[in-house]
Amino acid sequence: MGQVVHTLPEDEPVWAVTSLDDEVYVLRDKESDQLEVYDVINYRLQRCLTVPNIRGLADMTSCERYRCLYIGDHIVECIHRLERHGKRTWWAVNDKPFGISVNGPNGLHNVLVTCGRVRKIKEFSSHGHLLRELPLPDDIIAPLHAIQTRDGEFIVCHGFLGDDVHRVCKISAGGRHIIQSHGGQPGSDTGQFNGPRHLAVDNNEFVFVADVVNRRVTLLSPMLDYVRQVVSPEDLKGEPDSLYMDIQRQRLYVTTGGRVVVFIV
Protein backbone atom coordinates (compact mmCIF):
# COMPACT_ATOMS: atom_id res chain seq x y z
CA MET A 1 0.00 0.00 0.00
CA GLY A 2 1.08 3.57 -0.59
CA GLN A 3 1.91 5.66 2.47
CA VAL A 4 0.44 9.14 2.91
CA VAL A 5 3.20 11.73 3.27
CA HIS A 6 1.17 14.93 2.93
CA THR A 7 -2.28 16.35 2.24
CA LEU A 8 -2.58 19.78 0.66
CA PRO A 9 -5.14 22.21 2.13
CA GLU A 10 -8.78 21.49 1.33
CA ASP A 11 -10.59 24.15 -0.68
CA GLU A 12 -12.54 24.39 -3.95
CA PRO A 13 -12.69 21.21 -6.08
CA VAL A 14 -9.38 20.12 -7.59
CA TRP A 15 -9.41 19.07 -11.25
CA ALA A 16 -5.77 18.08 -11.72
CA VAL A 17 -2.26 18.25 -10.28
CA THR A 18 1.20 18.15 -11.85
CA SER A 19 4.74 19.39 -11.20
CA LEU A 20 7.34 21.40 -13.07
CA ASP A 21 10.76 22.74 -12.03
CA ASP A 22 10.46 21.60 -8.40
CA GLU A 23 7.02 23.12 -7.99
CA VAL A 24 3.61 21.46 -7.67
CA TYR A 25 0.68 22.96 -9.59
CA VAL A 26 -2.87 22.40 -8.34
CA LEU A 27 -5.79 23.31 -10.64
CA ARG A 28 -8.92 24.36 -8.74
CA ASP A 29 -12.40 25.23 -9.95
CA LYS A 30 -12.38 28.99 -9.31
CA GLU A 31 -13.07 32.15 -11.31
CA SER A 32 -9.53 33.44 -10.67
CA ASP A 33 -6.31 32.16 -9.09
CA GLN A 34 -7.16 28.73 -10.49
CA LEU A 35 -3.56 27.54 -10.18
CA GLU A 36 -1.96 27.17 -6.75
CA VAL A 37 1.81 26.67 -6.82
CA TYR A 38 3.56 24.82 -3.97
CA ASP A 39 7.19 23.92 -3.43
CA VAL A 40 7.77 20.22 -4.01
CA ILE A 41 9.74 19.61 -0.80
CA ASN A 42 7.70 21.21 2.01
CA TYR A 43 4.44 21.82 0.09
CA ARG A 44 4.32 25.48 1.09
CA LEU A 45 2.11 27.73 -1.04
CA GLN A 46 4.34 29.98 -3.19
CA ARG A 47 1.88 31.91 -5.33
CA CYS A 48 -1.41 31.72 -7.25
CA LEU A 49 -1.93 32.19 -10.98
CA THR A 50 -5.00 33.11 -12.99
CA VAL A 51 -5.67 31.45 -16.35
CA PRO A 52 -7.44 34.08 -18.49
CA ASN A 53 -10.57 33.11 -20.41
CA ILE A 54 -10.75 29.55 -19.12
CA ARG A 55 -14.33 28.32 -18.78
CA GLY A 56 -14.51 24.55 -18.37
CA LEU A 57 -11.69 22.71 -16.59
CA ALA A 58 -10.99 19.23 -17.92
CA ASP A 59 -7.42 18.14 -17.11
CA MET A 60 -3.84 19.41 -16.81
CA THR A 61 -0.36 18.11 -17.56
CA SER A 62 3.17 19.52 -17.83
CA CYS A 63 6.16 19.23 -20.16
CA GLU A 64 9.72 19.37 -18.86
CA ARG A 65 11.29 19.94 -22.30
CA TYR A 66 9.25 23.05 -23.09
CA ARG A 67 8.77 24.02 -19.42
CA CYS A 68 5.08 24.68 -19.73
CA LEU A 69 1.66 23.56 -18.55
CA TYR A 70 -1.29 22.46 -20.67
CA ILE A 71 -4.87 22.76 -19.42
CA GLY A 72 -7.88 21.29 -21.21
CA ASP A 73 -11.04 23.39 -21.53
CA HIS A 74 -14.12 21.31 -22.35
CA ILE A 75 -16.45 24.31 -22.87
CA VAL A 76 -14.26 26.36 -25.24
CA GLU A 77 -12.92 23.03 -26.62
CA CYS A 78 -9.33 24.14 -26.48
CA ILE A 79 -5.96 23.66 -24.76
CA HIS A 80 -4.46 26.52 -22.75
CA ARG A 81 -0.63 26.63 -22.76
CA LEU A 82 1.18 28.42 -19.92
CA GLU A 83 4.94 28.94 -20.01
CA ARG A 84 7.04 29.32 -16.88
CA HIS A 85 7.90 32.95 -17.65
CA GLY A 86 4.21 33.85 -17.91
CA LYS A 87 3.35 33.72 -21.63
CA ARG A 88 -0.13 32.27 -22.26
CA THR A 89 -1.49 30.95 -25.55
CA TRP A 90 -4.25 28.54 -26.57
CA TRP A 91 -5.35 26.42 -29.51
CA ALA A 92 -8.60 24.83 -30.62
CA VAL A 93 -9.22 21.09 -30.27
CA ASN A 94 -12.60 21.23 -32.08
CA ASP A 95 -13.90 18.47 -29.82
CA LYS A 96 -14.39 18.30 -26.07
CA PRO A 97 -11.09 17.35 -24.41
CA PHE A 98 -11.28 14.90 -21.54
CA GLY A 99 -7.85 13.72 -20.39
CA ILE A 100 -4.55 15.12 -21.65
CA SER A 101 -0.97 13.88 -21.41
CA VAL A 102 2.49 14.46 -22.91
CA ASN A 103 4.28 11.64 -24.69
CA GLY A 104 7.62 12.53 -23.14
CA PRO A 105 8.88 8.98 -22.43
CA ASN A 106 9.27 8.24 -26.15
CA GLY A 107 11.06 11.54 -26.78
CA LEU A 108 8.37 13.33 -28.78
CA HIS A 109 6.97 15.68 -26.10
CA ASN A 110 3.72 16.23 -27.99
CA VAL A 111 0.30 16.71 -26.39
CA LEU A 112 -2.19 13.85 -26.47
CA VAL A 113 -5.81 14.93 -26.09
CA THR A 114 -8.42 12.25 -25.41
CA CYS A 115 -11.74 13.23 -27.01
CA GLY A 116 -14.27 10.87 -25.49
CA ARG A 117 -17.40 11.69 -27.48
CA VAL A 118 -15.76 11.03 -30.84
CA ARG A 119 -13.54 8.20 -29.49
CA LYS A 120 -10.31 9.72 -30.72
CA ILE A 121 -6.85 10.64 -29.50
CA LYS A 122 -5.62 13.86 -31.07
CA GLU A 123 -1.87 14.56 -31.07
CA PHE A 124 -0.69 18.17 -31.15
CA SER A 125 2.73 19.77 -31.16
CA SER A 126 3.64 21.91 -28.17
CA HIS A 127 2.35 24.99 -30.00
CA GLY A 128 -0.93 23.45 -31.11
CA HIS A 129 -0.30 22.08 -34.60
CA LEU A 130 -2.49 19.03 -35.18
CA LEU A 131 -0.16 16.16 -36.08
CA ARG A 132 -2.62 13.27 -36.28
CA GLU A 133 -5.96 11.90 -35.16
CA LEU A 134 -6.27 8.28 -33.99
CA PRO A 135 -9.77 6.77 -34.06
CA LEU A 136 -10.00 4.12 -31.33
CA PRO A 137 -11.50 0.61 -31.70
CA ASP A 138 -15.30 0.49 -31.74
CA ASP A 139 -15.58 -1.29 -28.38
CA ILE A 140 -13.75 1.50 -26.54
CA ILE A 141 -16.74 3.63 -25.58
CA ALA A 142 -16.17 7.12 -24.17
CA PRO A 143 -12.39 7.00 -23.52
CA LEU A 144 -11.41 9.29 -20.66
CA HIS A 145 -7.60 9.39 -20.55
CA ALA A 146 -4.73 8.07 -22.64
CA ILE A 147 -0.96 7.88 -22.20
CA GLN A 148 1.67 6.66 -24.65
CA THR A 149 4.34 4.10 -23.79
CA ARG A 150 7.98 4.26 -24.83
CA ASP A 151 7.35 1.84 -27.71
CA GLY A 152 4.50 3.95 -29.11
CA GLU A 153 1.51 1.99 -27.85
CA PHE A 154 -1.30 3.64 -25.89
CA ILE A 155 -2.85 2.89 -22.50
CA VAL A 156 -6.49 4.04 -22.46
CA CYS A 157 -9.14 3.91 -19.72
CA HIS A 158 -12.86 3.95 -20.48
CA GLY A 159 -16.16 3.42 -18.69
CA PHE A 160 -18.72 6.01 -17.59
CA LEU A 161 -21.45 5.25 -15.09
CA GLY A 162 -24.03 3.23 -16.97
CA ASP A 163 -21.58 1.83 -19.54
CA ASP A 164 -21.45 -1.96 -19.85
CA VAL A 165 -17.64 -2.17 -19.91
CA HIS A 166 -15.11 -0.47 -17.61
CA ARG A 167 -11.56 -1.25 -18.65
CA VAL A 168 -7.96 -0.21 -19.08
CA CYS A 169 -6.69 -1.21 -22.52
CA LYS A 170 -3.36 -1.27 -24.30
CA ILE A 171 -3.85 -0.10 -27.89
CA SER A 172 -1.52 -0.59 -30.85
CA ALA A 173 0.57 2.37 -32.00
CA GLY A 174 -1.80 3.00 -34.89
CA GLY A 175 -4.81 3.03 -32.58
CA ARG A 176 -6.67 0.22 -34.35
CA HIS A 177 -6.17 -2.88 -32.20
CA ILE A 178 -6.54 -3.77 -28.52
CA ILE A 179 -3.44 -5.70 -27.46
CA GLN A 180 -4.30 -6.29 -23.80
CA SER A 181 -7.05 -5.19 -21.45
CA HIS A 182 -7.92 -5.33 -17.77
CA GLY A 183 -11.46 -5.10 -16.45
CA GLY A 184 -14.83 -5.76 -18.04
CA GLN A 185 -18.23 -5.62 -16.38
CA PRO A 186 -18.17 -2.86 -13.73
CA GLY A 187 -17.75 -4.07 -10.15
CA SER A 188 -15.64 -3.91 -7.01
CA ASP A 189 -13.83 -7.26 -7.11
CA THR A 190 -10.14 -7.63 -7.89
CA GLY A 191 -9.84 -7.33 -11.65
CA GLN A 192 -12.84 -5.02 -11.95
CA PHE A 193 -13.25 -1.25 -12.17
CA ASN A 194 -16.18 1.06 -11.59
CA GLY A 195 -15.28 4.31 -13.28
CA PRO A 196 -11.59 4.09 -14.31
CA ARG A 197 -11.11 7.83 -14.76
CA HIS A 198 -7.41 8.70 -14.93
CA LEU A 199 -3.98 7.10 -15.38
CA ALA A 200 -0.37 7.55 -14.36
CA VAL A 201 2.75 5.48 -15.06
CA ASP A 202 6.06 5.03 -13.28
CA ASN A 203 9.52 4.73 -14.80
CA ASN A 204 9.02 1.01 -15.42
CA GLU A 205 5.65 1.63 -17.10
CA PHE A 206 3.57 0.12 -14.31
CA VAL A 207 0.13 1.72 -14.56
CA PHE A 208 -1.79 3.46 -11.74
CA VAL A 209 -5.56 3.65 -12.28
CA ALA A 210 -7.94 6.01 -10.45
CA ASP A 211 -11.05 3.86 -9.84
CA VAL A 212 -13.63 6.51 -9.01
CA VAL A 213 -16.70 4.70 -7.64
CA ASN A 214 -14.59 2.08 -5.81
CA ARG A 215 -12.59 4.94 -4.24
CA ARG A 216 -9.23 3.28 -4.79
CA VAL A 217 -6.11 3.37 -6.94
CA THR A 218 -5.07 0.09 -8.55
CA LEU A 219 -1.60 -0.80 -9.83
CA LEU A 220 -1.26 -2.83 -13.05
CA SER A 221 1.85 -4.30 -14.64
CA PRO A 222 3.07 -3.04 -18.05
CA MET A 223 1.09 -5.97 -19.52
CA LEU A 224 -1.99 -4.79 -17.56
CA ASP A 225 -1.98 -7.66 -15.07
CA TYR A 226 -3.27 -6.89 -11.58
CA VAL A 227 -0.46 -6.15 -9.10
CA ARG A 228 -2.09 -4.66 -6.02
CA GLN A 229 -4.25 -1.90 -4.63
CA VAL A 230 -1.95 1.01 -3.76
CA VAL A 231 -4.52 3.47 -2.37
CA SER A 232 -7.56 2.37 -0.38
CA PRO A 233 -10.90 4.10 0.32
CA GLU A 234 -9.72 4.70 3.89
CA ASP A 235 -6.72 6.65 2.57
CA LEU A 236 -8.82 8.98 0.43
CA LYS A 237 -12.18 9.49 2.17
CA GLY A 238 -13.52 10.47 -1.24
CA GLU A 239 -13.46 9.62 -4.93
CA PRO A 240 -10.11 9.80 -6.77
CA ASP A 241 -10.55 12.10 -9.76
CA SER A 242 -7.06 12.39 -11.24
CA LEU A 243 -3.49 11.19 -10.72
CA TYR A 244 0.03 12.48 -11.19
CA MET A 245 3.21 10.44 -10.72
CA ASP A 246 6.41 12.29 -9.77
CA ILE A 247 8.82 9.63 -11.02
CA GLN A 248 11.94 11.30 -9.66
CA ARG A 249 10.66 11.39 -6.08
CA GLN A 250 8.38 8.34 -6.24
CA ARG A 251 5.40 10.39 -5.16
CA LEU A 252 1.86 9.69 -6.34
CA TYR A 253 -0.53 12.67 -6.19
CA VAL A 254 -4.23 11.83 -5.99
CA THR A 255 -6.97 14.46 -6.25
CA THR A 256 -10.21 13.82 -4.38
CA GLY A 257 -12.85 16.52 -4.08
CA GLY A 258 -11.12 19.62 -2.77
CA ARG A 259 -7.96 17.85 -1.61
CA VAL A 260 -4.68 16.54 -3.00
CA VAL A 261 -3.23 13.56 -1.11
CA VAL A 262 0.43 12.70 -1.66
CA PHE A 263 1.63 9.10 -1.32
CA ILE A 264 5.05 7.51 -1.44
CA VAL A 265 4.86 4.39 -3.61
Q: How does pLDDT run along the chain (265 residues), one tens digit per residue? A: 789 999 999 999 999 999 999 999 999 999 999 999 999 999 999 999 999 899 999 999 999 999 999 999 999 999 999 998 779 999 999 999 999 999 976 778 999 999 999 999 999 999 999 999 999 999 998 999 999 999 999 999 999 888 999 999 999 998 889 999 999 999 999 999 999 999 999 999 999 999 999 999 999 999 999 999 999 999 988 999 999 999 999 999 999 999 999 999 9
CATH code where residue 80 lies? 2.120.10.30
Entry pTM: 0.96
Tell me the residue range of the domain where 255 lies. Answer: 3-264
- Domain count of the chain? 1
3-state secondary structure the chain: CCEEEEECCCCCCEEEEEEECCEEEEEECCCCCCEEEEECCCCCEEEEECCCCCCCEEEEEEECCCCEEEEEECCCCEEEEEECCCCEEEEECCCCCCCEEECHHHCCCCEEEEECCCCEEEEECCCCCEEEEEECCCCCCCEEEEEECCCCCEEEEECCCCCCCEEEEEECCCCCCEEEEEEECCCCCCCCCCCEEEEEECCCCCEEEEECCCCEEEEECCCCCEEEEEECHHHHCCCCCEEEEECCCCEEEEEECCEEEEEEC
